Structure 1
Amino acid sequence: MAEHKRVPSRRRKVLLVAACAFVALVVVGAGAAGWAYLKLNGNIKSVDIDSRLGDARPPAATDGSFNILVLGSDSRAGANGDLAGGSTGDSARSDTAMVVHVSQDHSRASIVSIPRDTLVDRPQCTDGAGKTVQAVKRAMYNSAFETGGAACAVKTTEQLTGLRMDHYLQVDFAGFARVVDAIGGATVTTTVAIHDKDSGLDLPAGQHHLDGQQALAFVRTRHGVGDGSDLGRIELQKQMVKSLLQQAGGIGLFSDPVKLWSIGDTMTRSITTDSALGSVNSLVGLAQELKGIGPDQLTMVTLPVMTAPADPNRVVEQQPQAGTVWAALRADQPVPRSVVSAQPENPAQAAPTASPKATEKATGKADAVR
């Protein structure tokens, strides 16, 4: 007698199909996640700062606090060529420099902006090609990155501050504009109109929601506000940082996987890091450590400087104020209130004190935005 095969019921067929579909989704999902991870990791450019600098550095903190050197490069290479005006030829300088100190409990941060025209003693460095860059007395701070790359910028900053730069993060023009666009723009408020043909920024007084290129022009503008100096530009950059923190905190990334992927892809394509941060896992870990720090937990100051005695177009650290800033961060203390209260006024929040032409004539800074 022939054995009859058992015919599965409709319910069992449905369960079988569902189980197969679930397994397929898990496999495909794991493959997609793996592909995404490799894609984002492959986007990140990194520099091995530690191997280039060796042990002749300030000691790393042991209490959980840490420091990050954030540089904005003014390179015109690739997609940067048509952005934000000005010209640097084939070179790249650290147009924006911020030392970010994160407190021991990761509940607050202090950011100190270093004016690019600050005269510093630049130490001997080795550039990316292994060539020795000789030490120079009274060189412009931003020349360290131009002549010796990221490692030289870190070494110069460590010598200036006495702080170990635990991490390094660099973004260029095109990268900054892409990131701003990816998070949905940035909102700024000005009480004065800003018209700067060099940066391309043209804003009436009031509140403005800027796209990436407008935001870049905003942080690059000099001649359109205040006295036309780099110090005024730094004040605009402070406003932009706080605006971006607010914007990033309100876009609901983890509830929107598509947006999360878009921003992750954009950010990883836009940065260069030290090798310790050169992976998605490391960047996510850093983001977790910083997630409790918003605009209200952030203190932003410009390094106290004064006009250089030998060159009215340059500045030097103003002492003892500058020394107290670095000492406070080394001790994991807030920036002294005396320094915070004496900070320059944001030129976008107050009437200009001089016309751009008068300022250029007096200071010799008629060079366009660089």
Structure 2
Amino acid sequence: MGLDSRRDEDGNVLPAATYQALHAGDGSDGGYNTNVLMLIHIPAGGGPAIGISIPRDDWTTLPGAPDGNATGKIKQAYGYELDQTLRYIVNTEPGVSHDDAYQQARSAARQEEITTVSQFLGGVPINHFIEVTMAAFYDIAQAVQPIQVCLNETTSDTYSGADFHQGLQSLDASQALSFVRQRRDTSGSGVELTDLDRERREQAFIVALAYKLRHEDVLTNFPLVQHLIDTAKQDIALDSGFDLLSFAGDAQRFAGGGITFQTLPIVRYGVEDGQDVNIVDLAQIRSTTAALIAASDHPGTTASATPTTSGPAGGGTTTAGTGAGGSSAAKAPTGATNAGASTAESTAPSTTTTSAAQPLASGGIPCVN
């Protein structure tokens, strides 16, 4: 889960230079919405993993919502529980320090978000969690920069700081954060982006990162791996049973094409309680999730769960390739470079253009909106 908070894991403000690099305001901005929700299922038998993205604005039941708010956006479960638990501790346990109360509330909020997501998906057990803040993402990206990504169109956005040209390009840590945050184009170019395109960007970034880790032998560079693990321990919240070294081994397998990402479908955009939301078919969500997990557990079978997104899901021409389960790769779009990101070398990897509704497989660098 990825938080909207512009603070560190202890709730402290960040250095001014970090806020400048994040291009996301300061410590008073953001909050405790889980703006990124992704379930990663890793089969016990070593088969291909599946990453399931849950759009943050999906309207659903919130099991632990306070003050009689039984429904809300799925991302709101965390913040509601944090606020409710913190108020309860402050009012009933005056001897508890603010820092301890805050950490207890954060723990309760994580568990509530996990419970909400599990119920939303049909009771899927969630054994471990990773919680990432914007600052944590930036620190990890700094450790592995530059990272190559590919875009279908030239686009820029004053809100996220995005300024990207069409085609392959290498991003530094600050640009990488803009890449995964952008959900609009403010250049007047006519490029249309939605929140679902941002989900796709998040998937594409993980796939691109996995490609880098494999093809630059990062995972065999033990000092760098240890640095990444140390950074993760400092900046990222994990459950006590999460084994980072074991996960690093899984990441090596993912990098070679061992994971596919899928975004859960929405029926349409709507308005509930004055909020812009995604209206979903809960039965479709649960059947899609079950089929994707079953196909991951039994890779010899064919999943019939590729969802159809009825609402606007972002454009993009579908081309057979790694993202669509095909074998041929599309040529990267070409376009003039700008100062926002550097052009990839001529030895750049092959790319695959996919639409937001398609599965996105690891093993290459996907071109996305």
Report the counterpart of residue 72 of structure 2 in structure 1: 139
Equivalent of 2:44 in 87, 92, 104: 104
Equivalent of 1:93 in 27, 33, 47: 33
Change beyond 3 A, Cα 1:346–1:109: farther
User: 1-side partners of 2:286 and 2:220: how far apart?
Assistant: 45
Q: Matches of residues 225-264 of structure 1 in structure 2 within 5 Å? A: 226-253=191-218, 256-264=221-229
User: 1-side partners of 2:149 and 2:77: how far apart?
Assistant: 32
Equivalent of 2:169 in 208, 212, 222: 208
3-state SS of paired residue (1:324): helix
Q: Percent of pairs identical after alignment?
A: 23
Change beyond 3 A, Cα 1:346–1:90: closer
Change beyond 3 A, Cα 1:144–1:101: same
Report the counterpart of residue 279 of structure 2 in structure 1: 316
For residues 57-80 of structure 1, give each alpha carbon's deviation from its aligned partner in whole angstroms, at most 9, with x where no partner exists.
xxxxxxxxxxxxxx1111012336
Contact kept, 8 Å, 1:226 with 1:232, in 2: the verdict is no
User: 2-side partners of 1:289 and 1:203: how far apart?
Assistant: 31
Change beyond 3 A, Cα 1:341–1:304: closer
Report the counterpart of residue 218 of structure 1 in structure 2: 179
| 1:303 counterpart = 2:264 | yes
Report the counterpart of residue 266 of structure 1 in structure 2: 231
Change beyond 3 A, Cα 1:229–1:256: closer
Contact kept, 8 Å, 2:218 with 2:225, in 1: the verdict is yes
Aligned AA (1:208): Q
Give unmatched runs, 5+ long, in structure 2. 8-12, 82-108, 319-332, 334-369
Change beyond 3 A, Cα 1:95–1:252: same
User: 1-side partners of 2:317 and 2:202: how far apart?
Assistant: 13
The structure with the largest helix share of the pair is 1
1:236 CA drift (Å): 1.3
Aligned AA (1:95): N
Aligned AA (1:75): S
For residues 19-67 of structure 1, give each alpha carbon's deviation from its aligned partner in whole angstroms, at most 9, with x where no partner exists.
xxxxxxxxxxxxxxxxxxxxxxxxxxxxxxxxxxxxxxxxxxxxxxxxx
Report the counterpart of residue 175 of structure 1 in structure 2: 136
1:290 CA drift (Å): 4.8
Equivalent of 2:6 in 73, 76, 100: 76
| 1:159 counterpart = 2:126 | no
1:202 CA drift (Å): 0.6
3-state SS of paired residue (1:305): coil
Q: Matches of residues 187-202 of structure 1 in structure 2 within 5 Å? A: 187-202=148-163
3-state SS of paired residue (1:208): strand
Contact kept, 8 Å, 1:112 with 1:300, in 2: the verdict is yes
Change beyond 3 A, Cα 1:138–1:295: farther
Report the counterpart of residue 24 of structure 1 in structure 2: none
1:260 CA drift (Å): 3.1
Report the counterpart of residue 345 of structure 2 in structure 1: none
1:296 CA drift (Å): 2.0
3-state SS of paired residue (2:2): strand
1:179 CA drift (Å): 1.0
Change beyond 3 A, Cα 1:318–1:173: same
Contact kept, 8 Å, 1:101 with 1:329, in 2: the verdict is no
1:81 CA drift (Å): 4.2
> Normalising by the residue count of structure 2, what TM-score does the alignment of the two structures yield?
0.65
For residues 214-239 of structure 1, give each alpha carbon's deviation from its aligned partner in whole angstroms, at most 9, with x where no partner exists.
01100000112853321111111111
1:98 CA drift (Å): 0.3
Aligned AA (2:53): S
Contact kept, 8 Å, 2:40 with 2:52, in 1: the verdict is yes
| 1:339 counterpart = 2:269 | no
Query: Which has the larger Rg?
Result: 1
Contact kept, 8 Å, 1:73 with 1:96, in 2: the verdict is yes
1:320 CA drift (Å): 4.8
For residues 334-356 of structure 1, give each alpha carbon's deviation from its aligned partner in whole angstroms, at most 9, with x where no partner exists.
783451676986657799xxxxx
3-state SS of paired residue (2:131): strand
User: 1-side partners of 2:285 and 2:303: how far apart?
Assistant: 10
Contact kept, 8 Å, 2:4 with 2:34, in 1: the verdict is yes
Report the counterpart of residue 123 of structure 1 in structure 2: 63
User: 2-side partners of 1:328 and 1:308: how far apart?
Assistant: 25
Contact kept, 8 Å, 1:98 with 1:112, in 2: the verdict is yes
1:300 CA drift (Å): 0.8
Change beyond 3 A, Cα 1:236–1:284: same
Change beyond 3 A, Cα 1:123–1:341: closer
Contact kept, 8 Å, 1:196 with 1:202, in 2: the verdict is yes
Aligned AA (1:339): T
1:102 CA drift (Å): 1.1
Aligned AA (1:139): G
Contact kept, 8 Å, 2:291 with 2:305, in 1: the verdict is no
